[in-house]
Amino acid sequence: MSDHSERDVQGQVTELQGKSATAARLFDIRRIIGGLFVLYGIIVTIAGITASDADIDKAAGVNINLWTGLGMLALGLFFLAWLRLRPLDAPVPDTEPGAEADGTPPPER
């Protein structure tokens, strides 16, 4: 393989690794879980704040929507804070395309 085509392949590999790392950070499960819990927590908390006395009496005098919504908000914010404080590490690229997992160079062809 010529030197020019090796650089092209290495450039493509580097570009794909960058896109892969970006996709991994974007679809981190902590972001999805945290976002959904915050969203649903806001909805349930609003339902708890606007609950009527009849709704509270049905739940043995406990405003269950308010407490559940606040709990969901707390859990969602925990996940988002965890994501912010401990982001994913970028994957370590191979030193050479086609290198073996144990670090030995690929066989000559």
pLDDT per residue over 51-99, tens digit each? Answer: 999 989 999 999 999 999 999 999 999 999 999 888 766 556 555 555 5
CB 34 within 8 A of CB 73: no
CB 55 within 8 A of CB 23: no
Domain assignment present for residue 102? The answer is no
The model's pTM: 0.60
Domain that holds residue 40: 27-87
pLDDT per residue over 3-35, tens digit each? Answer: 667 667 676 666 666 666 566 666 788 899 999
Domain assignment present for residue 21? The answer is no
Domain assignment present for residue 50? The answer is yes
Q: Apex CA 61: angle with CA 55 and CA 66, to 5°?
A: 65
